[in-house]
Amino acid sequence: MVILFCRKECTCTPVRFFAIISSQRSGSGWFETLLNSHINVSSNGEIFSKKERRINISSIIKTMDMVYNLDWNSSASKNECTAAAGFKWMLNQGLVANQAAVVDYFNQRGVSVIFLFRRNLLRQMVSQLANNHDRYLKQLKGKHKAHVHTKDEANILAKYKPRLNTTTLMWSLKQADDYTRKALENLKSVRHITLYY
């Protein structure tokens, strides 16, 4: 194995491991930006967005080992002493399908989980529809941005007004709520905190 990270003078400082567990359009990008603004925290993004990293539990564990062994090289890597290292994991990226093995892994490695969910599911649904709309239209100079960084970009994207299917709306909201509640129940045996955006 190639080691990409050397702790040098930081070897006597313990590193805490974390995972941000969330769902799309829940504020997790903003939350991760806040974490990464701390010089000693490295949150490495949505590492399981690539399918080959979540194809089975072996590939999932291999990927998590790279992060928690501090061998993961990303823009979140710091030159200062790392005190906390982790990543963001969406529920639909292999987590729910492999939850029992993931719980065992988290408990063995001492991983603290931050559950981050959006309290207003209707707003989350509208955000998802608007994001999907822009993914196809690429309204910002031919590029899709999941997260905008200027008021002008926000104003351009805000012009789109999604239409909701009122016939299935309540069922869709209940399904999203049930999915989140079930995941929280099945992962509750790991050290965790639950936050709502």
- Gap between the Cα atoms of 96 and 5, Å rounded: 30
Q: Where are the domains of the chain?
A: 8-117+181-196, 120-164
pLDDT, tens digit (0-9, with 9 covering 90-100), for 55-102: 999 999 999 999 999 888 776 666 668 889 999 999 989 898 999 999
The vertex-29 CA angle with 37 and 62, nearest 5°, equals 90
Decide: 55 and 98 in contact? Cβ < 8 Å: no
At 107, phi and psi to the nearest 5? -70, -40
Q: Which two tokens stand for residue 118?
A: 């959006």
Look up the CATH number of domain 8-117+181-196.
3.40.50
Between 73 and 18, residue with greater pLDDT: 18
**Mean pLDDT for the chain overall:** 85
pTM, whole model, 2 decimals? 0.81
